[in-house]
Chains A and B, each alone.
Chain A
Amino acid sequence: MFAFLHKYASLMHFYRLSARWSGWLALATALLMAYGLYGGLVTAPADYQQGDSYRIIYIHVPSAWMSLFVYMCMAGAGAVALVWKIKLAEIWLRASAPIGASFTFLALVTGSIWGKPMWGTWWVWDARLTSELVLLFLYLGIMALDNAIEDRRTGARAAAVLTLIGVVNIPIIHYSVEWWSTLHQGPTVSKLDRPSIHIDMLIPLLVMAVAFTTFYFAAALARVRGGILAYDRNTSWVRDMVGREAARGHG
């Protein structure tokens, strides 16, 4: 078990194993998004209250879910990085931050664009919107802290500490619509006992959520591979790769 873990935690092995993963995940993302967009924009019926404006959910809801999911992945990686000092976890955390910030930004902006025709305002300081905005600042803060520290391993550990402190915001975002009276509507999908969304609307939404998840792993993996080369730049396997690269550049 530990030999297995050690092998996968080895940067060189992960780099070689993951060579094809990112491409397959990108292909899966493209196929799922094509299906999800067709279902969401074309075949799903208009909402009886919100008309066609509700179709923004097919990007808004997956973005909002991913803003939390990516953060929890970073918190998990941060804990592993701090406790076991595993480099791959540090690299994963650093690679995830800009992607998570992007999803959070998308959730806020698309929610705002949806809010204008439905609520009559672009923005309101209600609990859900405010806690999601705090999440965006957390992501940006984690990236800034990491960048501000010269030594990359110290920077990653500082970022991991800040990530773990920020975890307190995650349940606040999730339960904000129940704890406070918010303008933001309550959960629609997770009420499994009495689903309040039509199945033709739900399936494209779930497909888009899976597509956003595969997008995250494809993009994070590509960044992780760059991070691995930077971490292992003084090892022979990276020096050999760089040597070949330099020869190609000059030749």
Chain B
Amino acid sequence: MAEFIAMGGYGAYVWSSYAIAALVLGVNAVLARRAERAVLHALARDPNGDDDDAPA
């Protein structure tokens, strides 16, 4: 297990890459899921107004 984490001495490079990828993709997934609800909420608050504050 320790050997797996060490990645032959490249552990810091390999795992930081994977951590950044997980973070970026995770944020993307959350923002995408929120996009639709954000528009619905904005329209529910102000049906006639522009909803440019909501991500689309």
Please indicate the chain A residues that have their CB under 8 angstroms from the CB of B8 in the complex.
Answer: 46, 51-53
CB pair B43–A226 under 8 Å, yes or no, is: no
- For residues 1 through 54 of chain B, which have their beta carbon under 8 Å from a beta carbon of chain A? 4, 7-10, 13-14, 16-18, 20-21, 24-25, 27-29, 31-33, 35-41, 43-44, 47, 51-52, 54
The secondary structure that dominates the B interface is helix
Complex interface: chain A residues within 8 A of B36 (CB): 222-223, 225-226, 229
Known A52-B10, A113-B13, A225-B36; judge A230-B28 contact (CB<8 A): no
Interface size, chain B (Cβ < 8 Å): 35
Smallest CB separation, B1 vs chain A (Å): 11
> B41 touching A117 by the CB < 8 A rule?
no
Which listed segment binds B: A3-11, A101-109, A131-139, A186-194?
A: A101-109
Q: Distance in Å from the Cβ of B20 to the closest Cβ of chain A?
A: 6
Beta-carbon contacts under 8 Å, A88-120 to B: 91, 94-95, 98-99, 102, 105-106, 109-110, 113-114, 116-117
B44 adjacent to A242 (CB under 8 Å): yes
Residues of the A chain whose Cβ atoms lie less than 8 Å from the Cβ of B25: 102, 106, 215
Q: Are A51 and B10 in contact (CB under 8 A)?
A: yes
B27 closest partner in A (C-beta): A102
Q: A43 → chain B, closest Cβ, in Å?
A: 12
Q: Is A142 an interface residue (CB 8 A)?
A: no
With A59-B17, A223-B56 known to touch, is A102 a contact of B28 (CB < 8 Å)? yes
Nearest A residue to B25, CB-CB: A215
Residue of B nearest to A249 (CB): B44
- A residues in contact (CB < 8 Å) with B: 26, 41-42, 46, 51-53, 55-56, 59-60, 63, 91, 94-95, 98-99, 102, 105-106, 109-110, 113-114, 116-117, 150, 152, 215, 218-220, 222-223, 225-227, 229-230, 233, 238-239, 241-242, 245-246, 249
Interface contacts beyond A218-B29, A239-B47: sample of 5 additional A-B pairs, CB < 8 Å, sorted by A: A53-B7, A98-B31, A106-B25, A114-B13, A218-B32
The 4 closest A-B pairs by CB, nearest first: A226-B35, A52-B8, A53-B10, A222-B32
Q: List 10 A-B contacts (CB under 8 A).
A: A52-B10, A53-B7, A59-B21, A98-B28, A102-B28, A215-B28, A219-B28, A223-B35, A226-B54, A239-B47
